[in-house]
Amino acid sequence: MSNKIKFAIAGCGSIGSRHIAVTDAEERAEIVALCDIDEQKVKALSETYGGIPYFTDYETMLASCDADVVNICTPHGLHAEMAIKAANAKKNILVEKPMALNVADCHRMIDAAQANGVKLMVVKQNRYNVPIALTKQALDSGFLGQIFMVQCNVLWNRHQGYYKDSNWRGSKKLEGGALHTQVSHFIDLLVWWFGDLKEAKTHLETKNHDIEIEDCGQSLVKFGSGVMGSIIWTTCVYNKNYEGSITVIGENGTIKIGGQYLNKIEFWDVKSYPLPEEIEFNDKPNAYGKYQGTSSNHDKVVHDVVAELLNERHNVVEGNEGMKTIEAIELIYSKS
């Protein structure tokens, strides 16, 4: 492998464009191919970035380019097959969240990566958010004592056009559910902090969109560590995102991470561990015109993928860990 890691980006939509921008800006990365079934879109992006070779057929791209890693930024229902094809073409993989729509597909992806000796990495950019890193430190240090409960709210707006103008959003087969899209970031953090999800009691409804999946959901959950909690999610909030928050209730402290996308500390009261002063809360959202997603720390993800593939440090989320989010999502839906 040369000192520049070669990336190919498959799926050049909302987040694919962000992958292209941050990879282009990464000193030790080079984009060698773009792929999208929408030729106009991929051609325009190729031109914007100086004529990167582009393809409208994924398998042709895999066979023709010498990428070290393929970023999969396509609808959820395509992640597993595209990752397996990339692995069989001996490419490392960076797959967008959710890793796949079900646990069986995650296993197939992991097996394919292992069989071909390549790395399977999953985008979890919220782990880099300043409030998340601070909370992780507080949890790891033990200052919070025993953790009793956690409350997670994902109270967001997705306007009608978000689903109507897309050929995959709102579809069970291609999107899965709102847990796969909006909530998987939050579930990743909960499982990372409190262990695998063991129990769930769930209620789902579709109240305000013409879609096959839920737009309102609630689940009472219990994690392997014994922490009990609730997750409430909706895409029905009027006009704009209201809140994306996680509140941790511990024996010796309470932390509420909030803002619209886990970008603020709303409350911090931890025994012997005051909130460090002069912290800059500088996480920005991924903004897509009429709606906003979670944090835009994709530059840090790509930076760590480069470091991983150059054997400098290990700070990426690999398939086995990414799969835990899908296990939790599968359990939550199975208990509705």
Ligand X SMILES: NC(=O)c1ccc[n+]([C@@H]2O[C@H](COP(=O)([O-])OP(=O)(O)OC[C@H]3O[C@@H](n4cnc5c(N)ncnc54)[C@H](O)[C@@H]3O)[C@@H](O)[C@H]2O)c1
Residues that bind ligand X (CB under 6 A): 10-16, 35-38, 41, 58, 73-76, 78, 96-97, 123, 125, 166, 181, 286, 293-294
Residue located via tokens 């097959």: 81
DSSP secondary structure letter of residue 238: S
Q: Pick from 71, 85, 64: which is nearest to 24 by CA?
A: 71
CB of 35 to ligand X, least distance (A): 5
The one-letter amino acid at 164: K
Residue located via tokens 């208990």: 335
Give the residue nearest to ligand X (CB): 13
φ, ψ at 150 (rounded to 5°): -140, 140
CA distance 171 to 213: 7
**Tokens matching residue 299:** 């530059």
Cβ contacts of residue 118 below 8 Å, gap of 6+?
A: 86, 87, 90, 91, 92, 93
CB of 17 to ligand X, least distance (A): 8
Looking at the DSSP bridge assignments, the partners of residue 153 are 232, 245
CB of 26 to ligand X, least distance (A): 17
Residue closer to ligand X (CB basis): 37 or 237: 37
CB of 286 to ligand X, least distance (A): 5
Residue closer to ligand X (CB basis): 95 or 270: 95
CB of 36 to ligand X, least distance (A): 4
* Contact of 246 with 266, CB cutoff 8 Å: no
How far, rounded to the nearest angstrom, does the alpha carbon of residue 332 sit from its chain's CA centroid? 18
Residue closer to ligand X (CB basis): 181 or 202: 181
Residue closer to ligand X (CB basis): 78 or 228: 78
Residue closer to ligand X (CB basis): 22 or 73: 73
CB of 184 to ligand X, least distance (A): 8
Residue closer to ligand X (CB basis): 37 or 220: 37
How far, rounded to the nearest angstrom, does the alpha carbon of residue 244 sit from its chain's CA centroid? 14
